[in-house]
């Protein structure tokens, strides 16, 4: 028999706690945990053993309406609150996440398959940074400037609808919610139904710190119901979406009916150009690093460097190095010591990735390691084999479409101009990499790549730099000053 657990605020948490499973049965609207308008629920599966680890509400359009109205009613007071006070709330949320890091990281590892150590650093550590960084930016941002006889001011855009994915669930929530609220917007969040438990934990933290009612609202459900209602709702001023290109296009279409602002972060098919001029050791470092960048989070990374471009003269060398690196990848329980790759997040994703691997074989790509099927040593969970193809051409499916699994395609080029052409030949433009002996020449090549961010000679990811893409990878930017500005309108007052 389940029992309610009280929070420090005296409000009931939204779940019944069982020995093996958590049943969440409430959504969060206007500062309270409330029962949704429907009795429908959805299972949340544990990626490591395929068991049901939780159930969550499958809310409806009426719940979106209630959340949007609550956010609208709260907007004026929140937007008018002293920026220092808004920043304090964001900082407290970051502290709350830090206090529950282990618990949240464990949930996300079970949801997505990322190894526990990386979940702590990436899946929780980066969201903590986002809330803290949003607070700092809000405090120092220049909201007004004189332009001739005009006073130009930056104001919050209004109510923001946030739809987030399952691969970096809390990270993507923070990228939207932290910066939108810090900017003075109120929000309605729909987290992914595949990895929603971290969103419930974040909501508990928000509830505990006493954020004003209506500033943050969370409605769980499926995209065709909750997402559509959000994009169509007349009292939601902006949609911020991260996910597939197909779903992103639908959000944009529906939002266009009310001329909403729309920010999209969609897919990627990012190229990693490795130069002919590298010495043997640096070439090996670039290839092995590239395998790791392709396989991060078991390949469930939109910015993964999934196309490795190498000179024809060094193709055999690259094949040998990539095969060795991929073959050494330890696949298994994300909570076990030494595990490098956990499972994928769902059965559907596992089957989809295996379908792409088979497509690569059928279209004539050279399979170096991996392939269709289950890795050795695992019997349960959504696992796939780390896979590397070579001899991949631009017209092959695995070179054009986002796979979202641990699958690397090695492609050869004639010269650096040919490499840039191949890199820019897809519909996407989210990320990229380039390794050359001369860093300035590498930077010059990076400038020619039509993509939102490029790693130059292994440059580290910067969580405070703008993140977003060109072409069908989306529009708008997240994180740092640029991500903050996405949630601001511009007004000029002539005086």
Q: Answer whether residue 14 shows pLDDT above 90.
A: no
Tokens standing for 223?
A: 């995209």
Q: How far is CA 9 from CA 6, 13, 20, 98, 169, in A?
A: 8, 10, 26, 19, 26
Rounded Cα gap, residues 422 and 425, in angstroms: 5
245 pLDDT band (50/70/90 cuts)? very high
Average pLDDT in the 283-301 region? 97
What integer pLDDT is reported at residue 22 of this predicted model? 82
11 pLDDT band (50/70/90 cuts)? very low
Task: Mark whether 301 and 316 lie in a shared domain.
Answer: yes
Task: Mark whether 251 and 300 lie in a shared domain.
Answer: no
Task: Mark whether 129 and 33 lie in a shared domain.
Answer: yes
Instruction: Pick the range with the lowest mean pLDDT from 19-23, 233-237, 270-274, 328-332.
Output: 19-23
* Virtual torsion, Cα 114, 119, 123, 126, nearest 10 deg: -140
What integer pLDDT is reported at residue 226 of this predicted model? 98
Task: Mark whether 204 and 293 lie in a shared domain.
Answer: no
Our answer to whether residue 363 is catalytic in this structure is no
Nearest to 175 by CA among 262, 242, 79, 88: 242
Our answer to whether residue 185 is catalytic in this structure is no
Task: Mark whether 30 and 85 lie in a shared domain.
Answer: yes
Task: Mark whether 124 and 256 lie in a shared domain.
Answer: yes
What integer pLDDT is reported at residue 18 of this predicted model? 34
Secondary structure (H, E, C), the chain: CCCCCECCCCCECCEEECCCCEEECCEEECCEEECCCCCCEEEEECCCCCCEEEEEECCCHHHHHHHHHHHHHHHHHHHHCCHHHHHHHHHHHHHHHHHCHHHHHHHHHHHHCCCHHHHHHHHHHHHHHHHHHHHHHHHHCCCEEEECCEEEEEEECCEEEEECCCCCHHHHHHHHHHHHHHCCCEEEEECCCCCCHHHHHHHHHHHHHCCCCCCEEECCCCHHHHHHHHHHCCCCCEEEEECCHHHHHHHHHHHHCCCCEEEEECCCCCEEEECCCCCHHHHHHHHHHHHHHHHHHHHCCCCCCCEEEEEHHHHHHHHHHHHHHHHCCCECCCCCCCCCECCCCCHHHHHHHHHHHHHHHHCCCEEEECCCCCCCCCCCCCCCCCEEEECCCCCCHHHHCCCCCCEEEEEEECCHHHHHHHHCCCCEECCEEEECCCHHHHHHHHHHCCCCCCEECCCCCCCCCCECCEECCEECCECHHHHHHCCEEEEEEEC
Average pLDDT in the 286-296 region? 97
| C-beta separation of 176 from 164 below 8 A | yes
54 lies in some domain: yes
What integer pLDDT is reported at residue 9 of this predicted model? 38
Task: Mark whether 307 and 233 lie in a shared domain.
Answer: no
φ/ψ of 142, rounded to 5, equals: -90, 105
What integer pLDDT is reported at residue 2 of this predicted model? 30
382 lies in some domain: yes
Catalytically annotated residue among 111, 193, 204, 265? 265
Q: How far is CA 161 from CA 157, 226, 260, 324, in A?
A: 11, 11, 10, 45
Q: Answer whether residue 445 shows pLDDT above 50.
A: yes
Average pLDDT in the 428-454 region? 98
Report percent pLDDT > 90 for the chain: 95
3 lies in some domain: no
Read off the pLDDT of residues 248-289 as tens digits, 9 standing for 90 and up. Answer: 999 999 999 999 999 999 999 999 999 999 999 999 999 999
Return the CATH number at 396.
3.40.309.10
Task: With both helix axes pointing from N to C terminus, report the angle between 439-448 and 416-423 in degrees, rounded to the nearest 10.
Answer: 40
Task: Mark whether 333 and 212 lie in a shared domain.
Answer: no
Rounded Cα gap, residues 22 and 13, in angstroms: 11
Residue 367: burial class (beta carbons within 10 Å; 0-12, 13-18, 19+): middle
8 lies in some domain: no
What integer pLDDT is reported at residue 52 of this predicted model? 96
332 lies in some domain: yes
| C-beta separation of 215 from 29 below 8 A | no
Return the CATH number at 487.
3.40.605.10
Q: Answer whether residue 20 shows pLDDT above 60.
A: no
Read off the pLDDT of residues 196-209 as tens digits, 9 standing for 90 and up. Answer: 999 999 999 999 99
Task: Mark whether 88 and 218 lie in a shared domain.
Answer: yes
Task: Mark whether 188 and 44 lie in a shared domain.
Answer: yes
220 lies in some domain: yes
Read off the pLDDT of residues 56-91 as tens digits, 9 standing for 90 and up. Answer: 999 999 999 999 999 999 999 999 999 999 999 999
Q: How far is CA 354 from CA 329, 344, 347, 383, in A?
A: 18, 11, 11, 10
Task: Mark whether 150 and 123 lie in a shared domain.
Answer: yes
Catalytically annotated residue among 111, 302, 319, 455? 302
467 lies in some domain: no
Task: Mark whether 366 and 489 lie in a shared domain.
Answer: no
Sheet holding 41-45: strands in order across? 15-17, 22-24, 52-57, 41-45
Report percent pLDDT > 70 for the chain: 96
Domain of 144?
A: 15-266+473-494
What integer pLDDT is reported at residue 295 of this predicted model? 97
Strand partners, 470: 429
How many domains are there within the chain? 2
Report the chain's mean pLDDT, rounded to a whole number. 94
2 lies in some domain: no
What integer pLDDT is reported at residue 21 of this predicted model? 63
Average pLDDT in the 375-379 region? 88
What integer pLDDT is reported at residue 23 of this predicted model? 87
């Amino acid at each position: 028999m389940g029992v309610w657990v009280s929070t420090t605020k005296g409000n009931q948490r939204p779940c019944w706690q069982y020995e093996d499973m958590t049943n969440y049965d409430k959504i969060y609207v206007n500062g309270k945990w409330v029962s949704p308008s429907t009795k429908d629920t959805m299972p949340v599966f544990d990626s490591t053993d395929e068991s049901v680890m939780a159930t969550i509400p499958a809310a409806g359009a009426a719940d979106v309406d209630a959340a949007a109205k609550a956010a609208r009613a709260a907007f004026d007071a929140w937007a008018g609150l002293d920026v220092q006070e808004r920043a304090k709330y964001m900082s407290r949320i970051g502290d709350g996440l830090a206090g529950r890091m282990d618990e949240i990281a464990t949930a996300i590892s079970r949801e997505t398959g990322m190894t526990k150590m990386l979940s702590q650093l990436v899946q929780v550590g980066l969201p903590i940074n986002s809330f803290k960084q949003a607070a700092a930016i809000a405090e120092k941002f220049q909201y007004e400037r004189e332009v001739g006889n005009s006073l130009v001011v930056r104001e919050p855009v209004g109510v923001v609808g946030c739809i987030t994915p399952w691969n970096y669930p809390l990270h993507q929530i923070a990228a939207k919610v932290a910066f939108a609220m810090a900017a003075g917007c109120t929000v309605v969040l729909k987290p992914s139904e595949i990895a929603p438990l971290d969103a419930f934990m974040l909501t508990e933290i928000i509830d505990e710190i006493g954020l004003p009612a209506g500033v943050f609202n969370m409605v769980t459900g499926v995209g065709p119901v909750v997402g559509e209602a959000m994009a169509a709702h007349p009292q939601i001023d902006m949609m911020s979406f991260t996910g597939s290109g197909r779903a992103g296009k639908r959000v944009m279409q529906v939002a266009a009916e009310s001329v909403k602002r729309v920010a999209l972060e969609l897919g990627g098919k990012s190229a990693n150009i490795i130069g002919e001029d590298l010495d043997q050791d640096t070439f090996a470092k670039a290839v092995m690093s590239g395998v790791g960048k392709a396989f991060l989070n078991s390949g469930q990374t939109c910015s993964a460097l999934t196309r490795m471009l190498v000179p024809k003269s060094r193709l055999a060398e690259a094949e040998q190095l990539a095969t060795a690196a991929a073959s050494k990848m330890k696949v298994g329980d994300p909570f076990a010591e030494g595990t490098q790759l956990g499972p994928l997040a769902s059965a559907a994703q596992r089957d989809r990735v295996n379908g792409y691997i088979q497509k690569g074989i059928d279209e004539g790509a050279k399979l170096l390691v991996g392939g269709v099927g289950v890795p050795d040593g695992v019997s349960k969970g959504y696992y796939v084999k780390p896979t590397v193809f070579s001899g991949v051409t631009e017209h092959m499916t695995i070179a054009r479409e986002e796979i979202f699994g641990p699958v690397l395609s090695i492609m050869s080029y004639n010269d650096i101009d040919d490499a840039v052409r191949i890199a820019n030949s897809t519909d996407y433009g989210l990320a990229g990499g380039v390794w050359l002996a001369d860093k300035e020449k590498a930077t010059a090549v990076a400038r020619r790549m039509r993509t939102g961010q490029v790693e130059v000679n292994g440059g580290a990811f910067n969580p405070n730099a703008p993140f977003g893409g060109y072409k069908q990878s989306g529009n708008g930017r997240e994180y740092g000053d640029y991500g903050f500005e996405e949630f601001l309108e511009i007004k000029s007052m002539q005086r």
